[in-house]
Chain A
Amino acid sequence: MRFTTLDGLRRWLDKLAEEVDLVAPTDVDGHVLYRPVQSADAILFDYERPELSAKDFLFPATEVLLRIEQKGKDVAIEEVLPDRKQVLFGIRPCDAHGLAVIDALFLEQDPPDRYYRHHRERTVLVGMACLQMWEGCFCTSMGGGPMDTTHLDVLIRPSEGGYFLQPVTPKGVAILEGLPVEEPKGEPPSVKEYNEPVPVVPPEKWRPLFNDRIWMRHGERCLSCRICTYVCPTCRCFDVTDRVVDVQPGLTRIERIRVWDACTSPNYRRVAGGHNPRPTKPDRLRNRFYCKFCYYPEDFGPLGCVGCGRCIVACPVDVDITEVMQDVAKQT
């Protein structure tokens, strides 16, 4: 455990910003969001749970995979892979847990996802503990916690006089090398109050409930937007498409891009000919929950939810995953 003051932390971050791609919580027009930063001045040190998860920096909302240049009959294809080291500073433990969930599909299957693996290897995760659980948080029911170090490289605990930094992995030890360390003032803090736990029903007990009326009850008011999937640290569906970016006589430039997709969206499941096997809002919302608690754990291991509560706060019509989990538990 190392200790430093806010000033020490800022000096370390300023130095890091020169050497790596530094991402940190910032205030974007009143919203707490992770953004690339050039110096510690832009960083928030006292903040709630950022509204979007940190997955955007390992699985970007829009990622150019290939640049394709066609000159007459010649086609040149170039793969796009950024090579700078990246530090995600101030992410919450649930963000790191979310990445571990995505790893089960993108890293641990054969073959792994090249692009995700590349980002994962170039990235160091420096987490900031939550001193309280925020509105909607239920990470403690999902195997995580506001001070969980499990999936981080470093965990920082803010205290009265400064910050306690705990390296968790060799990557974490290395990144802390330049940190100005001081004599600890006081004790590392602890969480005073936890949110109510939520019941987690095992995957096999979900199967018989597929046609239960819960899905109509929760899904009918759903808007079929993409908010819940886009704010979620574990949702990882994507689409791949090609786009023409430049056309000149004898020369065409094309990009192959990967973009986020969402199973809650009406188009997601549409197939050739226009048929849609999930035609209604309840069909689509049910899939989101089955993916998290039944299909994903059965197919890849971990549950697809880390209990960050973001979707609960962001949903404009009060679809609440903890209420769904409670209803499922009541039926089993």
Chain B
Amino acid sequence: MQINEPLTQQIREHAHRLLDGGEVECVIGYEIGPRGRARPAFVYGPTEVDRLIWGADCVHNLTTYLHDKKKPRKRGEEPPRVAVVVKPCDSRTLNILLAERQIARERVVAIGVACEGVVGKDGQPAAKCSRCTDRTPVVYDVLVGEPPEIPPVEDDWSDLARIEEMSPAERLSFWLREFDRCIRCYACRQVCPGCYCTTCMFERDDGLWVDAAIDVPQKHVFHLGRALHLAGRCVECDECERVCPMDLPLSLLNRLLVREVEALYGHRAGREETLTPLVFELGPEGSPI
């Protein structure tokens, strides 16, 4: 994998300063595993910061691990203060978690990376990067790197075209074929920073909507339900799609809803520290949908 030396150096310096000064308990960043794959890393001391790296394989959205840092380590203590490395796309999650009162701003130090794009599973530039309009995180405390000069891009939703060309019946059979391949491993839910319910309604022992079978009807309900629970909250980090061992095109479901919510409310999740209007906002006429 390609390591970006200057940014790696800057991340290590910030991590060292934050850990050495006792400002944070832990820095959540990236490291390289023995097989040469980039992966999330948790660094607890200044002597360990040399594990941290930055490069084009740093695709994971690390903000999802902030949910593991919400509880104090000992009863009666404050929750730990942590630093987390965020790309522009990941940083939008911080706004979601702040608006939803999942994290307190003063307990998180965001090490923002001015991002030149990351690569997907196939080694090609990730789809999310080709439509990225940010390149600088929307929330950060310190910034590493220079925002690259790139021509501004419009989200043309061209990824959705293949779905929209289909008749409703074709769409249904397309999705049923995809859901058939799903193994209900819940990796998509587990990686999602927006899926943090203590008990997911699709995994309740007494679930009314869906039982425990690993069959198409259950997976159908799970995926459509999960997409709706993320409507107006999904930051399009595409992590759910990346982790899926069966390559379900989950971003198509999410982005159809992203576009709906934007058209109806002018809301794009995580651009600001606001709750999704979909469930929280009623106009004089009630909900627009």
Contacts and interface: CB of A to CB of B under 8 A. Distances in A.
A220 B42 contact: yes
A318 B39 contact: yes
State the majority secondary structure of interface residues on B: loop
A183 B164 CA distance: 56
Interface in A295-332: 312, 314, 316-318, 320, 323
A259 B185 CA distance: 12
Interface string A29-67: 111000000000000000000011000000001100000
A51 B245 contact: yes
A267 B68 contact: no
A19 interface: no
B269 to A, nearest CB: 21
Interface string A132-165: 0000000000000000000000000000000000
A230 B181 contact: no
A223 B35 contact: no
Nearest to A28: B181
Range, interface on chain B: 35 or more
A51 B246 CA distance: 9
A241 interface: yes
B228 interface: no
Given A61-B184, A61-B214, A225-B187, 8 more contacts: A227-B185, A230-B183, A243-B212, A257-B212, A257-B213, A281-B68, A318-B33, A318-B38
A320 B60 contact: no
A84 interface: no
Given A316-B187, A316-B191, A221 B40 contact: yes
B247 interface: yes
Interface string B241-262: 0110111000000000000000
A267 B202 CA distance: 12
A265 interface: yes
22 contacts: A31-B247, A52-B183, A61-B214, A62-B213, A62-B214, A217-B42, A220-B68, A223-B191, A226-B183, A227-B183, A227-B185, A241-B211, A243-B211, A243-B212, A259-B212, A260-B214, A267-B199, A314-B245, A316-B245, A318-B35, A318-B37, A318-B38
A101 B34 CA distance: 28
A320 B37 CA distance: 11
A224 interface: yes
Contact of A241 (B33, B186, B212, B242): B212
B203 interface: yes
A231 B247 CA distance: 15
Instruction: List 10 tightest A-B contacts by C-beta distance, closest first.
Output: A316-B243, A225-B187, A318-B39, A221-B40, A223-B190, A226-B185, A61-B214, A225-B190, A62-B213, A243-B211
A78 B37 CA distance: 51
Give the most central of A30, A243, A317: most B CB within 10 Å.
A317
Nearest to B59: A316
A239 B187 CA distance: 19
Contacts of A221: 39-42, 65
A281 B191 CA distance: 13
Contacts of B5: none
Contacts of B41: 221
A280 B67 CA distance: 11
Interface in A59-86: 61-62
Nearest to B177: A29
B215 interface: yes
Contacts, number: 91
Nearest to B42: A220
Contacts of B42: 217, 220-221
B187 A227 contact: yes
B245 A317 contact: no
B214 A267 contact: no
Given A241-B212, A259-B212, A280 B191 contact: no
A43 B185 CA distance: 26
B41 to A, nearest CB: 7
B214 A317 contact: no
A286 B263 CA distance: 46
A226 B186 contact: yes
B185 A230 contact: yes
B247 A323 contact: no
A31 B205 CA distance: 31
Nearest to A259: B212
A62 B185 CA distance: 13
A62 B181 contact: no
Interface in A180-237: 217, 220-221, 223-227, 230-231
A51 B34 CA distance: 22
B108 to A, nearest CB: 17
Given A28-B181, A62-B215, A231-B245, A225 B40 contact: no
B204 to A, nearest CB: 9
A70 B171 CA distance: 38
A18 B185 CA distance: 33
B212 A239 contact: yes
Contacts of B191: 223, 225, 316
Interface string B35-61: 101111110000000000000000010
A131 B103 CA distance: 52
Nearest to B239: A316
Nearest to A240: B212
Nearest to A312: B35
Nearest to B26: A220
Nearest to A257: B213
A243 B181 CA distance: 23
